[in-house]
Structure formats: structure tokens, C-alpha cells
Structure 1
């Protein structure tokens, strides 16, 4: 009797371990996507950032990632959450506009208008919900509108005129979204912070204040790690941290002549619609029969490149857009477009070509699905979408990304542990 007792006891222990392994491997997939708006790829290289540095050891990092053209908040975030190029998802500006009626709505008002976002491309939230998962958004662009009449399980829209850099409020927001996971069984939550973009615009990216806000972001990453542990989520929550674009210093100094487009053409006479006082990216609808004249005159403006929308380089993934006007103007790095008067006040900006290093941004990820101390090759942000679908265990909607770009970041420890447990059980049965 005693001779049989030991293997039976061992068998029971191994079966229990295998059951726990199986239970862990089949637990609900949970993913937190965090965006720090305007976090340039090298912002952590001139500031002490112990918590971001620890993420490199505890997870994965890309040296930088390339946002889509356009390097603006709404277009770039929607590429991340849909895996589609801007010409496909058609969120082609921060401002909501109609070039026929001349309607223009500012960024934060456009955030709440479904007709600007709902263009037939489903974001990850809705795709996940249609496959039985529970999703939420806290301030994330595109998260507070309806898609084909369907909204997220929960969304908190960003309030206008609310302070962007209140660290206590940041901590409260993290506690809120982690509570959605730990208390209400959410599977996917997206969380957005408006810094360091706000500081980069206001005082410029190469300033002590920008370094100070990066230190604050580093502290909030440390707070996040501690809060994940307190909420009991360390074993099943994956976290992806990224951004939408970088930031560059605007060359406002006496030696640099400001770009004023009306010096080169009569905008009132030649254009019926324009958005030209919005950083380094501008759009123009010429009056009937005036397209070539507008194009030729804008081509004479120094420090800009003018494109006919349909003739833009294929690599921009903008030329097929039905929403963009016929003429697109992109300023050289560090210059801003002024239409008739010099009204621009920002010290830093984005919206420039995405090949510029100042427009590149960050990527960090950690959690049970990710390898540790792994540095990937740089990649385009469009590839984050299939990675997130893999983490959530769902079938992606049609997209322009590729899982092959990011799958080396993922480990396979859970399946290996399960295989070993099953093998041990088999061996013990054979011995008995």
C-alpha cells in the first residue's frame, strides 16, 4: 500500500499543477494600451528615467517607431487602434472639416463627433466587443463615439480646458482603469495622456520644462507598475506604451523668415477652402479651374513641399483619401504655415514628414506575454494593431499591419509549461 502511495501522491500534485497551469493559460486576456501624446523617441535620453529604464529590462522596447503620415494626434491614434493607413480610415486631420460647407470644428469638439470617425473602418474596441470581450477608453482619441451605432462598453471623453499635467489626477485615472480590469473584468482599455505634447507645443521640446514633464511621466510609469501589483493583475495584464508623433522646435528667430502663403498667391481669389494655420501641414481646395495655378504658385514658396493629393508618394498612404482636398502643403521641419498673417504662437510642433527623426516616437511593452530585456527593430505604428489582436486572442478586422513585424517580442512560456506538465502526467501514468 505504501509503495503505491508515493506515486499516487506525486500524480495528484502534478495533476494539480497542470490544472493550475491550464487555468492560468486560459484566463481572460487583458490589455492596457497607454499613449503619451507627443513623446518623441529620444525624450528619455537626456533625463533620468529609472522606471522607463526598468521597463527595458522587464519587457520589450523598440528604439523608435514611425507614425503614419499625418503626424497628428487624431490620424495617428486612429491608425494605431485600427491598423489602417490614414487614406483608409479617413481621419485626415485633428480638426473636423467639410470643404464644401466650410465647416471647421476644433480638435476636442471633433473628438465627440461620430461622423468624423465612423467611416467604415472598425477600431479594435468594436472588433473585440463583437468577439465577446469587454472594452473601455479613458480620454483616448476615437473612444467616445459610435461606430455603425455601436459604442464602447465604457468611455470617458477628455474634457475641454482641463489641466493636462496634474500628477494626482493621472494617478486617479490609472486607478480607475485598473479597477475596470480587476473589479469589472474588462479585457481591453485604452488610456491617453495629453503630455508631453502640451508642454512641447507651449515651451518647446528642448527645454527644462519638457524634461520635468518626462520625469513626471517616468514617475507615473512607476506608479502604474505598483498599482498593477496592488490590483492583482501582474500575472495576466499586458501593457503597451506608445505615442502618436514626436515634436520639433519651431524656428522662430530673426534669421528665419516666417512662411506667409498669401505673399505668393491670393488665397481669397484662388481658394474656396483652406486649413493653413495649423502647424506644418496644410490643405487647400482651389476654386474651379484654378488647381494648377494654385499648385504652381505654392511650389514657389520656400521651405515647403506642395503635392497634388492624387500624386503624393505611395509611401505616404494618403493619396487615395476621398476626404483630403486636392492640394496638400507640408512645411520643412521646424517651419509653420501661415495663411495671411503670422498668428502662430507654438514653440514646438509636429505634422511634418514622418521620415524626420523628430517625428518618431516611443514603444515599450511588458506583461506575461512579452519577453524580457528584448529590443526589437524599429517599425511602423500600423503594426501595433495585429500585435494587440494577438494579445487579446481575437481575429483582427482587415488591416495594413503585419504580426510578423512584432511577434518576436512575444514569449511562449505558458504553452511550454503546459506541455511539460502534460508530459509529466503521461510519464507517471505509464509508471503506474
Structure 2
């Protein structure tokens, strides 16, 4: 009898000491949704009952800070890789080659593997390599291959596709839900091009921005209903975030707009440039002209010019091999114009990520998240390790930290096992020890 009890105690001690994993088939699923250009405070002046309910039923960050650069492609790729821009090398919305003067617009880059595949693995591929099934619906970077490996299912947004069709938004949710419920996907990323488009075209303070935020709110309500219809309430975690904020563009007659050719002869001094593109610019000086270009731009108002090798470490850009030698960051609201003013946008981004207008959103809900929890702000780079934890996979090398988001979720064990299992084993051990002591 004593021997049998001793063996039971030994088993209980082993069970209590060993982190328990979830049983096969009980791994929860994850949906990552990005609403492009959703500034951190866009829901503050609009009636958004469904977004408000997300905090009651889950967690919300006061805001999150995107990486430098505050652009769609670089920021999204930081979220899905957990790497700084200087590491993943998606350094602009435009695909470019400073030697050949190649420039490819953003949406045409979405099928160009050579722009995205730079040796850093995004979450889709890391998850697939560990036996999971993943999908990308319009998400930047999801429609190309990495080392020849494609995302299991990817739908790429084509040029000219309208971004604000609410009926299509709901249809896309239905398709994604079917991927989870009918095809047993583990991870899906879903992208919406609003409110970025309306923010550019009308400005962040225009009434139409409030209209699109209400549409987003209704879409979140539809998403919650779809989760219930597909019986995913207890199986699906959802993270809702964005890539950058938006600010009002300063224009004449209120300000003197920036025209860089006033301060240096671009034709004479530059061999490559992307300057007519919001608040962030890059430039390759002609041989031997770097200091002259730097000095001339240093005299230009309402911007800061950097030699790439002298960029502040906090930017996490200096190690990039793709970025040209000169980087220009305009002051908030000032657009960079090269030779003459061609920019028509009323709102823009690309500015310093410390600016509050560039901050963005984070909501999350599902079985592994706390309820009614408001988080302090954090950097978007930390979303990646959180997603790996939720999916119970080993992350690829990354620059994020789980400690930043540890208060958001209920996943206590590294393998995702239920906390109660270890407690039960400990209680069993104590009971058996007590019985053994009385024999």
C-alpha cells in the first residue's frame, strides 16, 4: 500500500513540475485584422458601440506606437515579423532600386517577392513550418513567397480595387470565418484599406472620416455575430490593430510649403530620389556630393535631414542596406515636394513615430484574453511574440518582448496549457502525502 501511494505521489510531483500542454486539437485560432490609417483617437468623437464593447469583452491599449517608418508596407511587415524596418528591409511603400531608378507603386509590390523576401520570416511561414494552416486576405506581404514558400491561402488586393464597400467588407469576413470553421485554418490576417483613404483624400478632421469609422464599427459588430454563427466564440482570438495614424497636411496660404529644389539643385546633385511622397523622403547624392546635399538640406525649414549612418538608434533604420545615404523627415503636417507642388492629399503620414497623430490602435478579445482591461501604450513590434504565444509556436528571431504584453492575456503557461491542471496536480500531491504520513 505504501509503495503504491509512493508511486502516485511521484507521478503527481512530476505532473506538477512539468508545464502542461493543451491536448491535441485544442489550440485556439487567431485572426489579425488591420484597418489602415486608424489613428489612436478616431473613435473618441464618434458613437462606436461595438468598438466600445471590445474593451468590456477584451483588452484595449491606450495607443500603440508604429515603427519608423509610419507607412503601410514597412509598418505591417514589422507587425507580422516582429522585426525593425532595418532588419526586414521593407523600407518604403514603393519598391525601388536606387541604381536603376526603378520605382513600383505600392499595390503593384504586393506580388513582388523580391521586395518582401529578405531573409526575415513572417508569421504565416513560421506557423506553417510548425504544422499550422495560415491565410492572408489582402494583408501586405501575404501574397508573395519566402524562400519559395507561399502562404497556404492568399488573396491579394489589386490596383484600383475600391476599399470602402461595406457589403464586400462583410463578405470578406464571411469568407475568413469559413476558412476557420470549414477548412480549419489556425491563423488568418485580414486587411482593410480604410480609414486611410478617406484620411488622405479628405483629412482626419473631415466629417467623412467619422462616417467611415461608424462603418468600421458596424463591421466589428458583424464580425462578432459571424464568430457566433460559425461556433468560434470559444476557439478564436481576435487582434484589431493598424499601421499608422494620420495628420492634417499644412498648405498655402497658411504655411510656406516645402520645395526642396529651392535649397539644392536636384538635377545636378541627386542621382535618385523619392521625395514627393508625404512626410518621408530618401535621396542618393551623386558621387562626392553627399556633404553638399546634406548641408543644403540642413538649411531647409520644417524638416530634419539625416545621413543614414547617423540616424538615431531609436529609428532602427541605420543598418538598412536598402535605404539611400540621405533620409529626410518632415515636421508634422509638412509634405516633401521636390521641384514643385504636386501633392493634393488633405491628410498624410510618414512622420516621426513619436508624434501622437502617428499613434494607432490595439483591441483584442477571445478565450485567451482578459476582459475589461485597459493597457498602457506599447510599440507595435511586441504584437508578434504575443501572436506566437497565442498560437503556441516557437517564434522566429524577432525584436519584440512578451513581457510588454504579459498583462493582456490568460495564457500563463509557455505551452498554453490550462493553469488549473498544475494546481490540481499539486493538490493531489498534498492529499497523497497526507495519507502517506498517516500510514
- Identify whether the pair has TM-score above 0.5, normalized to the shorter chain: yes
CA shift, 1:415, in A, is 1.6
Q: Give the Cα–Cα distance (whole angstroms) in 1 for the partners of residues 204 and 35 of structure 2.
A: 14
Unaligned runs of 5+ in 1: 1-20
CA shift, 1:341, in A, is 1.0
Give yes or no for the alignment of 1:408 onto 2:407: yes
The answer on whether the counterparts of 1:117 and 1:142 sit within 8 Å (CA) in structure 2 is yes
Q: Give the Cα–Cα distance (whole angstroms) in 2 for the partners of residues 252 and 243 of structure 1.
A: 27
Q: Give the Cα–Cα distance (whole angstroms) in 1 for the partners of residues 426 and 324 of structure 2.
A: 63
Alignment of 1:368-387 (within 5 A): 368-387=367-386
Give yes or no for the alignment of 1:237 onto 2:236: yes
Q: Give the Cα–Cα distance (whole angstroms) in 2 for the partners of residues 360 and 412 of structure 1.
A: 27
Determine helix, strand or coil for the equivalent of 2:299: coil
Partner of residue 294, structure 2? 295
CA shift, 1:416, in A, is 3.5
Distance verdict in 2 for CA 1:28–1:411, change over 3 Å: closer
CA shift, 1:376, in A, is 1.3
Give yes or no for the alignment of 1:284 onto 2:287: no
Alignment of 1:11-410 (within 5 A): 27-410=26-409
Distance verdict in 2 for CA 1:412–1:285, change over 3 Å: closer
Shift >6 Å, 4+ stretches: 21-25, 420-431
Q: Give the Cα–Cα distance (whole angstroms) in 2 for the partners of residues 62 and 24 of structure 1.
A: 31
Normalising by structure 1, report the TM-score.
0.92
CA shift, 1:418, in A, is 3.8
Q: Give the Cα–Cα distance (whole angstroms) in 1 for the partners of residues 329 and 195 of structure 2.
A: 23
CA shift, 1:120, in A, is 0.3
CA shift, 1:255, in A, is 2.4
Determine helix, strand or coil for the equivalent of 1:70: coil
Q: Give the Cα–Cα distance (whole angstroms) in 2 for the partners of residues 301 and 169 of structure 1.
A: 45
CA shift, 1:426, in A, is 8.6
Determine helix, strand or coil for the equivalent of 1:212: helix
Normalising by structure 2, report the TM-score.
0.90
Unaligned runs of 5+ in 2: 1-19
Q: Give the Cα–Cα distance (whole angstroms) in 2 for the partners of residues 87 and 409 of structure 1.
A: 28
Name whichever of 24-33 and 79-88 sits farther off: 24-33
The answer on whether the counterparts of 2:66 and 2:379 sit within 8 Å (CA) in structure 1 is yes
Distance verdict in 2 for CA 1:207–1:427, change over 3 Å: same
Determine helix, strand or coil for the equivalent of 1:92: coil
Determine helix, strand or coil for the equivalent of 1:133: coil
Q: Deviations over 1:113-145 (max 9, x none)?
A: 000000000000000000000000000000000
Q: Give the Cα–Cα distance (whole angstroms) in 1 for the partners of residues 242 and 252 of structure 2.
A: 29
Q: CA RMSD in A?
A: 1.9
The answer on whether the counterparts of 1:22 and 1:418 sit within 8 Å (CA) in structure 2 is no
CA shift, 1:377, in A, is 1.3
Q: Give the Cα–Cα distance (whole angstroms) in 2 for the partners of residues 212 and 113 of structure 1.
A: 34
Determine helix, strand or coil for the equivalent of 2:63: strand
The answer on whether the counterparts of 2:27 and 2:392 sit within 8 Å (CA) in structure 1 is no
CA shift, 1:421, in A, is 6.3
CA shift, 1:23, in A, is 7.5
Q: Give the Cα–Cα distance (whole angstroms) in 1 for the partners of residues 358 and 22 of structure 2.
A: 43
Q: Deviations over 1:137-159 (max 9, x none)?
A: 00000000000000000000002
Determine helix, strand or coil for the equivalent of 1:273: strand
Determine helix, strand or coil for the equivalent of 2:407: helix
Q: Give the Cα–Cα distance (whole angstroms) in 1 for the partners of residues 426 and 265 of structure 2.
A: 78
Determine helix, strand or coil for the equivalent of 1:409: coil
Distance verdict in 2 for CA 1:181–1:306, change over 3 Å: same
Name whichever of 274-283 and 422-431 sits farther off: 422-431
